[in-house]
Chains A and B, each alone.
Chain A
Amino acid sequence: MPVVLFFSVFLIAACGLIYELIAGTLASYLLGDSVLQFSTVIGSYLFAMGIGSWLSKYIGRGLVARFIYIELMVGLIGGFSSSILFLAFSWTDSFRFLLYLLVILIGILVGLEIPLLMRILKDRFQFHDLVAHVLTFDYLGALGASLLFPLLLVPRLGLVRSALLFGIINAAVAFWSTFLFRESIGRPAGLRMLSIIVLAALSAGMFGADRIAAMADDDLYADEVIFARNTRYQRIVLTKWKDDIRLFLSSHLQFSSRDEYRYHEGLVHPGLAALPGARQVLVLGGGDGLAVREILKYPSVEKITLVDLDPEMTKIFSSNPALIALNKGSLKSSKVRVINEDAFPWLDNSSEVFDFVVVDFPDPTNYSLGKLYTTAFYRLLARHVSVNGFIVVQSTSPLFAKQSYWCIVTTLKQAGLKTWPYHVYVPSFGEWGFVLAGAGAYEPPATLPSGLRFLATQNVADLFRFPTDMLPVDAEPNRLNDQVLVRYYEREWKDISH
């Protein structure tokens, strides 16, 4: 009997610690800055436990029934804590509020557990034995949980299921207590029924865990988050794993520092190197300054105008040391003018003409972004390019989104431009497509700036050759009033992910 009793102390201690670890992990996972998150979560949790212990003195009669109620509540709230937090992060703006609300609620309930249990057991043991045994098992439970959590639970079950599993353990302890302390409860049947309901709810959660995770999945990252910020326009997240820095904008990977040179050399040089003497360059999107870094390799370029909607983006990429190391401080060059405006209306109100235009927008995932890939936009762009100048458009993957890629080519043609489609292999993206467009004629460049890591003069022409599985397919042009591209894109990327 005593061992069995103290085993339940062990279990509830483990549960208590697990909820605390889950809250801390989730907070550092989703908000970044793990030292801050863990400190504040542990601090609030321990403080709340103190409140719980203090409140325990107000519980007078019916100790066992109260204890069982508390176990069930801890099980329910703790068990669903990570599901609630994941969903809250993805779907609401009140993540932080809910995080601390849950931490404090669970803390108070857990703080009530041990004092109540000790009072329940006080008549069965000598006081000095009781204190010694309860605390021993309490600390053992904590040790067990702290080892189990990183080694087994997170890798095998994930955060959503781990919490639910321990919720089930809490509820099972409650159920078990209805038998253990049978003689101290007036009507055990009601409590047993309630325990079964809670157990059923938590088990249902276990079965539905995949769906809960999938609903929140887009905002989870494989690597450590070193920077995260919600701006007016998007969510900017930087992750780091060893020497690899990755940028995500609203959950879409923008680059990996390991291979971005392939993307940006491929984006800029085939066009710009073919325009000796180009002086005015426009970059639309590309607030990371990486395309600008490549453009600055041409001494003839006098002025680079960068139009990116999000001031936070250009600010981070001209102030964070790790990012400045990546873009070589390109955004701070005296040749660069940064304009934080919406590209379409900006261009519509501008009368400037450029020799080379880099169009590096996010993929056309919705109708708002799709406007930037329409005949209307390209017609406008064509009016801002000098007679022999070129436009280059990042155009998603000609392998994974074939019809989307060729739709962009068709749209540029429909806008009265000649096109020279090409592609580059970028390991973190796969095969990636670009389209060079202009009114004049194009010949691959005879020379390239020195110091490139990917492109060499003899292999530029190869980029314009498409293997059989990426050959042109029929596509309608994308118009403002009939955005076929968004539909192609949605269908093709959905096919990939299933």
Chain B
Amino acid sequence: MNSRRQFLSAALIGLSAKAERTIAGSFVNDAFPLGHKLRDRTLAVSPKNVVKVPIVIVGGGIAGLSAAWRLDKRGFNDFVLLEMEGEAGGNARSGSNEVTSYPWAAHYIPVPSESARYVRELMEEFGVLKDGEWNERYLCYSPQERLFLHGRWQEDIEPSDSSTPRDREQMKRFAELIREHEETGEFTVPMELGAKPSKLDRTSMLDWLNAQGFDSKYLRWYVNYACRDEYGAGMSDISAWAGIYYFAAHAELDDKGPITQPDGNGWIVKRLVNKLQRHIRTNAPVASIRKTGSKIRVLTPDTEYVCDTLIFAAPLLLAKYLMDDAPPVATQYSPWITANLTLDRMPRERGLDLAWDNVIYDSQSLGYVVATHMSLRSRIDRSVWTWYAAVNDRKMLLEKPWDHWRDTILNDLERAHPDIRQCVSRIDVMRFGHAMARPVPGSIFSESRMRLTKPHGRVLFAHSDVSGFSVFEEAQYRGVIAADRALRMA
């Protein structure tokens, strides 16, 4: 019923409109002050004690936590995990308020196929996968996604309303090409199991689309959206191999996904942290990693750790600031911005029901994800929406004040929700200067990336950066592999 009270209301209710409300909020969890101290080597360090431990994991994102999970699972307990922030989680971090918990960045995992065996193992451990069946409470509820196109919402993100036969023919041909690539077996999750050096990596996704004669504006928007959403940059900056990988590696499974919870991937972090608590040291930024003889000395503000093997599970751009003999890292990074909007009433909806992932066609943003979507309630009257966007200009990201982002966000959402300003009470904004590795052309099969997959003395790199792009499955795989290698070295 409420869903019908909308469109004209914008015009008519104007007569009785409330005064514009003030919206609270600020920047939160800024990581760059600490990051810049590491870069500038200005972190104050005065260790009072020395701890000897066989294995140290640097970084408490999904890669570091997965390395710890693997060590623990294999019965190895003599290790510590150092996290620079107050809590572990990295890009899978989440927050909560009086309405719901909500994600800060990564908010789902596609339902894993058989090849993603560690993801399946983790889900089995969590009771989400049992006897080959997925617990539907963890799978994204209907309706999963919608697109605001030409003034109305349509089902699914792939534009279909008002598409011409030519658009549809190209969409179909695109799907067929993707299927052909999928059948080569080179586009696997995790990528390392199937990836073979390919000339696709030498060209951009845009050039590839052009070469294939795809000129449908809807198809091009859709592919470009996928690149921005997955890799944080448009298709002209993304390797065609990576662009195709996104589609070919996530073919439709029988089980409708993805796997998600109100706090995105935060629930996975919480369960891992819960299990591995005693190994995790938070507020422990690493100032330097030095080799002395057969030992590696890891310096943090109050403790020096002396270990035999080090799993480097922090963003690889930090390596050269922390290690004297770091291998070259050519990775480029995409800056991001996410915002959590607290809504104390729901905007009027026109047409389709609110979905989990809601995208606005031709918007600069990537849309928003609704935290309360995964609630069992049948009536939702308050919510938190996570709005996200890939930003190209890192300087602008750091310089613009909070008001700028408040207005950008509200102007963006207003296209689809005319009354959004009456609904939002708070906007918290989080800035990520180096949110994720950007798989630019040539990066996937570059020598520098390949070198990072191999041990660097007794330092093992374990981060999704090693795969060249930032997704849960890659981070977890790199963590698990590094843990296995560390155990073999011990």
Contact = CB atoms under 8 A, between A and B. Distances in A.
A367 B9 contact: no
Contact of B381 (A90, A232, A234): A232
Contacts of A233: 379
A314 interface: no
Contact of B256 (A97, A98, A482): A482
A232 B345 CA distance: 11
A480 B142 CA distance: 6
Given A98-B12, A481-B142, A342 B378 contact: yes
Interface stretch (B132-140, B277-285, B425-433): B132-140
A377 B15 CA distance: 43
B5 A92 contact: yes
Interface in B177-213: none
A92 B8 contact: yes
Contacts of B136: 374-376, 479-481
Contacts of A368: 353, 377-380
Contacts of A345: 375-377
Contact of A251 (B1, B12, B377, B380): B1
B141 A369 contact: no
B376 A367 contact: no
Given A97-B16, A235-B1, A251-B1, A91 B142 contact: no
Contacts of B353: 366-368
Contacts of B7: 91
Interface in B231-287: 255-257
Q: Which of A234, A309, A367 has the most CB of B within 10 A?
A: A367
Contacts of B113: none
A84 B379 CA distance: 29
Contact of B379 (A235, A309, A367, A375): A309
Contacts of B47: none
Contacts of B6: 91
B419 to A, nearest CB: 11
Given A345-B377, A376-B136, A371 B141 contact: yes
Q: Chain A CB within 10 Å — which of B7, B9, B12, B16 has the most?
A: B12
A87 B4 CA distance: 11
Nearest to B5: A91
Nearest to B13: A92
Nearest to B260: A481
Given A251-B1, A375-B136, A481 B141 contact: yes
Given A480-B139, A480-B141, A372 B378 contact: yes
Residues of B contacting A: mostly: loop
Contacts of A97: 15-16
A370 B13 CA distance: 31
A320 interface: no
A268 interface: no
B3 interface: yes
Nearest to B257: A481
B143 interface: yes
**Interface residues of chain A: helix, strand, loop or mixed (majority):** helix
Contacts of A98: 12, 15
A234 B3 CA distance: 11
Interface in A50-101: 84, 87-88, 90-94, 97-98, 101
A309 B378 contact: yes
Interface in A370-404: 370-372, 374-376
Nearest to A365: B1
Contacts of A319: none
Given A367-B142, A375-B136, A91 B376 contact: no
Nearest to A235: B1
Interface size class of A (residues with CB under 8 A): 35 or more
B144 to A, nearest CB: 8
B8 A370 contact: no
Nearest to B381: A232
Nearest to A252: B1
Contact of B4 (A91, A93, A479): A91
A486 interface: yes
A305 interface: no
B256 A481 contact: yes
Given A92-B13, A235-B1, A376 B377 contact: no
Contacts of B137: 376, 480
Contacts of A369: 378
A101 to B, nearest CB: 7
Q: For A368, A376, A481, which residue has the most chain B Cβ atoms within 10 angstroms? A: A481
B12 A91 contact: yes
Given A367-B143, A371-B141, A250 B1 contact: yes
B2 to A, nearest CB: 9
Interface string B279-307: 00000000000000000000000000000
A88 B142 contact: no
A342 B377 contact: yes
Nearest to A482: B256
A94 B15 contact: yes
A22 B7 CA distance: 25
Nearest to B377: A342
Contact of B378 (A84, A91, A93, A371): A371
A115 B4 CA distance: 44
A234 B257 CA distance: 31
A486 B376 contact: no
Contacts of B141: 367, 371, 480-481, 483
Contacts of A371: 141, 376, 378
B13 A94 contact: yes
A88 B16 contact: no
Interface in B114-154: 136-137, 139-144
A344 interface: yes
A481 B257 CA distance: 7
Contacts of A90: 4-5
A94 B142 contact: no
Contacts of A234: 1
B16 A94 contact: yes
A210 interface: no
A343 interface: yes
B142 A483 contact: yes
A462 interface: no
B112 to A, nearest CB: 15
A348 interface: yes
A356 B257 CA distance: 34
Interface string A335-373: 000000011110010000000000000000011111110
A348 B3 CA distance: 27
Contacts of B378: 309, 342-344, 368-369, 371-372
A310 to B, nearest CB: 9
Contacts of B8: 87-88, 91-92
Contacts of B375: 345
A218 interface: yes
Interface string B8-51: 11001101100000000000000000000000000000000000
A124 to B, nearest CB: 42
Contacts of A482: 142, 256
Interface string A412-429: 000000000000000000
11 contacts: A84-B12, A93-B13, A97-B15, A250-B1, A367-B353, A369-B378, A376-B137, A481-B140, A481-B142, A481-B255, A483-B141
8 closest pairs, A vs B, by CB? A481-B139, A483-B142, A250-B1, A92-B9, A344-B376, A94-B16, A91-B8, A342-B377
Given A92-B9, A94-B9, 11 more contacts: A88-B12, A91-B4, A94-B12, A342-B378, A366-B353, A367-B142, A479-B136, A479-B256, A480-B136, A483-B141, A483-B142
